[in-house]
Amino acid sequence: MTDPIRPTDADAISLAQDLLAKARWASLGTLGDDGHPMVTRIGFACLAGTLVSLVSDLSAHSTALRRDARCALMVGEVAARGDPLNQPRLSLKARAQFISRDSAEHGEMAALYLSDHPKARLYIGFTDFSFLRFDILSAALNGGFGKAYLLTREDLARSP
């Protein structure tokens, strides 16, 4: 069987970084209490290289991540035109870390997040909303038909 994975090059890294930088939403993969996967939608931002989301404590994904931090993200939404299977998307394996509301990190995230997600102003102050930081473990880029790449955390952090 042919290896479908191409060698990672500068174009692949640039495309992956661009998908992360532009993403405002993500499909989040978590593990339910029975170990079964779940997929839900979250708000998402890449703030000065840090991947974050703002989530409700009442959501199933928050419950799942407080039990098991292992998660996955897919960014790169379906565009209005063209074939979505030929449109680029980035799948990440990550670990999620809840950020304490009392920390300096929370305050910094809130300011940056609101610049990307002005509508989050409606609930960012609610005590049952928390910031998550995602620490990347590895990534798989699908740049369209026949354009599959595996990227490391270091690839995604590389300067252009």
Query: What residues line the site for its own copies (CB under 8 A)?
Result: 1-2, 4, 24-25, 27-32, 35-43, 56-60, 70-74, 76-78, 80, 83-85, 89, 91, 93, 119, 128, 137, 140, 142
15 and 88 Cβ atoms separated by less than 8 Å: yes
Q: How far is the CB of 105 from its own copies (least distance, A)?
A: 23
Q: Which is nearer to its own copies, 10 or 80 (CB)?
A: 80
- How near is the Cβ of 54 to its own copies at its closest, in Å? 10
- Name which of 9 and 34 has its Cβ closer to its own copies: 34
CB of 91 closer than 8 Å to CB of 74? yes
Q: Which residues pair with 134 in a beta bridge?
A: 51, 96
DSSP one-letter code for 147: -
Q: Nearest approach, Cβ of 104 to its own copies (angstroms)?
A: 26
Distance between CA atoms of 116 and 120, rounded to whole angstroms? 9
Residue 155 beta carbon to its own copies: minimum distance, rounded to whole angstroms: 17
CA-CA distance, 90 to 102, in Å (whole number)? Answer: 32
- Residue 104 vs 122, nearer CB to its own copies: 122
- End-to-end C-alpha distance for the chain, whole angstroms: 34
